[in-house]
Chain A
Amino acid sequence: SQQGEEDPQALSIQEGENATMNCSYKTSINNLQWYRQNSGRGLVHLILIRSNEREKHSGRLRVTLDTSKKSSSLLITASRAADTASYFCATVNTGFQKLVFGTGTRLLVSP
């Protein structure tokens, strides 16, 4: 079963615009991670935020975490056509070591 759900399911924007994706999850977590997947192949780790952190930055990526609302958001600033991909949030539950993935957001960035 999926732990989280991403919102929106699909997002279409123009190059240079910002893209925001949201993730909600159900149980207490140790950390939350975001992954990117191109064309249904392997996933690439983007960023990890721990349960005691509220915001984290990496290049054009900004992730926030609200454990009281069991939600996270991923912001991609100044998007590029190469950012076109599916983005998944994944959680590591307290006491477990497996990653549980959400349903994903398909991002399309048009030139």
Chain B
Amino acid sequence: DAGVTQSPTHLIKTRGQQVTLRCSPKSGHDTVSWYQQALGQGPQFIFQYYEEEERQRGNFPDRFSGHQFPNYSSELNVNALLLGDSALYLCASSSNRDSTNEKLFFGSGTQLSVL
């Protein structure tokens, strides 16, 4: 049973470019959340997707957008990259069908460096 998988593991971009990060949730999970973690900080909530729609959003600009596909996998897109977007991007999955299962399963993350 595969856990949460993220790709790529590392990415280097320059300012102004656009990036797409990908996530496949744990088998049986239908909800995907994205987090940004700057060095030495805790993860910050970007948004959450369920049934192919953005259900909740954190305090991030519109440059950050996402998508969820019918197979529950998800993408995070960031446009017009800034130096401050350099961070570890974490995807987490959970099951909306099991109300008692509130814990998140995390992928290993994508380390994005913006030069």
| Residues of the A chain whose Cβ atoms lie less than 8 Å from the Cβ of B42 | 2, 88, 101-104
| Residues of the A chain whose Cβ atoms lie less than 8 Å from the Cβ of B56 | 96-98
**Docked pose: A21 CA to B4 CA in angstroms:** 28
**A-B interface contact total, Cβ < 8 Å:** 60
Q: Which of A85-111 contact B (CB under 8 A)?
A: 88, 92, 96-104
Known A2-B42, A103-B42: A97·B48 in contact at CB below 8 Å: yes
Known A1-B59, A41-B109: A92·B43 in contact at CB below 8 Å: no
**Docked pose: A1 CA to B89 CA in angstroms:** 16
B interface residues with partner A (beta carbon < 8 Å): 4, 33, 35, 37, 39, 41-45, 48, 55-56, 58-59, 88, 90, 92, 102-109
Kindly list 12 other residue pairs between chains A and B, CB separation below 8 angstroms, not including A2-B44, A45-B104. Answer: A33-B102, A40-B109, A41-B88, A42-B90, A42-B108, A43-B43, A43-B90, A92-B102, A96-B56, A101-B44, A101-B45, A103-B42
